[in-house]
Amino acid sequence: MAAIRLPGMSGSREWVYPQSIDGPYMRLRRVSFFLLHVWLFVAPWVTVNGHPLLQIDIPARRVFLVGSVFTPSDSLLLALLLFFLAFSLFFFTALFGRIWCGYACPQTVFLETWIRPLEILIEGDRSQRKRRDGQPLSFDRIWRKAVKWSAFALVAFLLSMSMVSLFAGARPLWTGEASGGAYAMVGFLTLAWYADFTWFREQFCIYLCPYARFQSALTDDETLLVSYDEARGEPRGPKRGPEGGCISCQKCVVVCPQGIDIRDGFQLECIQCARCIDACESVMARFDQPTLVRYSSIAADRGARWRKIRPRTVVYAGLLMALIGAMGTIVTTRLPFEATVNRTPGSLYSLDADGYVRNTYLLHVTNKEPDAEPSTFEVRLEGLEGAEVTMPALTLEAEESRTVPLVVRLADEESRARTIPFRVVLGSRQGTLVMPTTFKTAGALQEDR
Ligand code: SF4
Ligand code: SF4
């Protein structure tokens, strides 16, 4: 029977069969993967002050973070946070290269935590998988593929549910009470992850990921990279082990999930997962020699010391400090309520029978504080001597919004300006908010005539 190619083993693509590997860097990466999984699976279920630890509620346009609620009025904070994340990526890339790719990117984290171990469990390690995929279709091959792809589908579904939980909320999503859009997103993500796990894999890093495209612009000669010690390793040959040279065992090549040979020098495909370091370390340890593949920089390879402090890293660090300062100031001074005051549509002012000028405004107040205590609001005016202000009693439950009329009256006098700027001061036990606005007088009518 002729060999039948299954999806993922056909066409011109050279399928990568990375061999399993263990070592210090793999153990370090597993710690990172574990912490990120704890964050993904546990965070959506944890509540602080009755709200999710983290939830980005897009339909309600609010973000819950560690017991606080952020709304569109906090968009400056959101913009600063995005800048902070971008510059953090620039800073760590300048220092440690593609540390994100190797230790924290979901693509790497999910492949290393779920997909490769499942593949090894069901189909065996590199040589068995390669051998099986080259064989004619058989019952043994079919059931293994069926079980593997079913397991991948289940993993894709669970990961997608957890990811969407950060937006739709874990409880509503897992109990079937979330919106149709949330489940549609779960379906889309499940299909995307499934396609990635079964077919796309390393091609995502090579052809699709934008970070891989521009990361070379973020690095310099001082950036730490996974690289081969050519000076010690070459010329390579099977007998060079005792002298510390490369014995051409190919171990660093067969463990590489990107299908490259690190001995060929820096390559864009390299995600700096350090699997090849662990591989070479295990090989060279047999000869009591240090690994030939290690973290180094171009400058260090030329004999220079690794400089962490250099213009690029200083600028990034300065920007990060400034952003932390700005965000800290906003967070510590931000009020847990927001309000706007606007003149009632269609009304400029009116004259009351008792000789007072009346301006009517609409005061919209939102209590953003997530705890259960209701907040009572009071209003006073600044910069409008002798004015009377009346507003209905205003007590808002947590996260409640309400619009109330705000009536301001001022004795009519001819000498008054037609437009008087003043401030509405809204206060509660949570603080005070000052909102500038204007008062229109009868004088305006006379001037307009
Ligand atoms: S060359 Fe080494 S560090 Fe780069 S992707 Fe391959 S195994 Fe990972
Ligand atoms: S693992 Fe080390 S010794 Fe083996 S081929 Fe790679 S660089 Fe050479």
pLDDT tens per residue, range 211-257: 877 777 888 889 999 999 999 999 999 999 899 999 999 999 999 99
Read off the pLDDT band of 258 (50, 70, 90): very high
Residue 262 lies in a domain: no
pLDDT above 60 (res 195): yes
Most confident of the ranges 72-86, 310-324, 345-359, 413-427 = 310-324
Q: Coil, strand, or helix at residue 235?
A: coil
Cα–Cα distance measured from residue 448 to residue 443, given in angstroms and rounded to the nearest whole number: 8
Same domain, yes or no: 211 and 344: no
What is the SS3 string spanning 3-34?
CCCCCCCCCCCCCCCCCCCCCHHHHHHHHHHH
Closest listed ligand to the CA of 112: 1
From the list 17, 29, 26, the residue with the least C-alpha distance to 105 is 29
Spell out the alpha helix ranges (H) of 55-179: 75-96, 99-103, 106-110, 116-123, 126-133, 139-168, 170-174
Is residue 226 in contact with ligand 2, taking CB distance under 6 Å? no
Q: Which helix (H) or strand (E) holds 299?
A: helix 298-301
From residue 314, alpha-carbon distances to 87, 295, 297, 321, 324 in Å are: 12, 22, 18, 10, 15
Give whole-number Cα distances, 422 to 346, 362, 381, 383, 387, in Å: 20, 16, 7, 5, 11
- Work out which ligand 1 atom sits closest to the CA atom of 271: 5
In a domain, 283, yes or no: no
Last-in-domain residue among 193, 217, 241 = 217
Domain that holds residue 393: 337-448
Q: Can you tell me the distance from the alpha carbon of 34 to that of 25, in angstroms, rounded to the nearest whole number?
A: 14
**Of the bound ligands, which one is closest to the alpha carbon of residue 246?**
2
Strands (E) in 220-374, as ranges, are: 225-228, 293-296, 337-343, 350-351, 356-367
Q: What's the sign of the alpha-carbon dihedral 124, 125, 131, 135?
A: positive
Give 422-426's long-range contacts (Cβ < 8 A, gap of 24+): 422/381, 422/382, 422/383, 422/384, 422/387, 423/381, 423/382, 423/383, 424/341, 424/361, 424/363, 424/379, 424/381, 425/379, 425/380, 425/381, 425/382, 426/337, 426/339, 426/363, 426/365, 426/377, 426/378, 426/379
Ligand 2 neighbour 255 (Cβ under 6 A): no
Please tell me the pTM assigned to this model. Answer: 0.81
Residue 103 maps to a domain: yes
H/E stretch holding 406: strand 401-411
Domain membership flag for residue 13: no
Look over the chain and give the mean of its residue pLDDT values, rounded to a whole number.
90
Q: Which of 192-201, 265-274, 370-379, 386-395 has the lowest mean pLDDT?
A: 370-379
Residues 141 and 151: beta-carbon distance below 8 Å: no
Backbone dihedral region for residue 225 (phi beyond 0: left; psi -120 to 50: alpha; all else: beta): beta
Regarding whether 184 and 54 lie in a shared domain, the answer is: yes
Residues 31 and 164 in one domain: yes
Alpha-carbon gap, residue 15 to 357, rounded angstroms: 81
- Report, as an integer, the average pLDDT of 174-201: 96
pLDDT in tens, 153-162: 999 999 999 9
Question: Is the residue at 429 inside a domain?
Answer: yes
Q: pLDDT value at position 11?
A: 54
Pocket of ligand 1 (CB under 6 A): 226, 255-256, 258, 260, 262, 270-276
Residue 254 lies in a domain: no
Candidate of 105, 205, 250, 271 to mutate for ligand 1, largest count of ligand atoms within 8 Å of Cβ: 271
User: Within 343-408, where are the H helices?
Assistant: none
Residue 141's Cβ-count burial label (10 Å; 0-12, 13-18, 19+) is middle
Structure-token pair, residue 286: 């047999």
Write down which residue in 192, 217, 242 finishes a domain.
217
Residue 119 or 10, more confident: 119
SS3 content of the chain, % helix, strand, coil (to 5): 45, 20, 35
The reply to whether 32 and 172 lie within a common domain is yes
Is 3 contained in some domain?
no
Assigned token pair, 245 = 């040279």
The reported pLDDT for the residue numbered 332 is 87
What is the DSSP-derived secondary structure letter of residue 313? H
Half-sphere exposure of 297 (CA within 13 A, CB side): 19
Which residues lie closer than 8 Å to 201 by C-beta, 6 or more apart?
16, 111, 257
Which of 194-208, 350-364, 412-426 is the least confident region?
412-426
Residues 71 and 211 in one domain: yes
Q: What is the pLDDT of residue 441?
A: 87
Ligand 1 atom 2: residue of nearest CA: 276
Residue 405 within a domain = yes
Q: What was the pLDDT predicted at 82? A: 94
Of 164, 182, 217, the residue at which a domain comes to its end is 217
Q: Cα(55) to centroid of ligand 2, in Å?
A: 46
Least confident of 4-18, 175-189, 250-264, 342-356: 4-18
* CATH number for the domain harbouring residue 363: 2.60.40.10
- Report angle CA 272, 107, 9 to the nearest 5 degrees: 95
Domains: count for the chain: 2
Q: pLDDT at position 376, please?
A: 92
Ligand 2 pocket, mutate which of 226, 236, 251, 281 (most atoms under 8 A from CB):
251
Q: CA-CA distance, 217 to 447, in Å (whole number)?
A: 64
Distance CA(411)–CA(391), nearest Å, equals: 18
Structure tokens at 73: 């009025």
Q: Is 431 helix (H, G, I), strand (E, B) or coil?
A: strand
Same domain, 40 and 171: yes
251 CB less than 6 Å from ligand 2? Answer: yes
Nearest alpha carbon, ligand 1 atom 5? 270
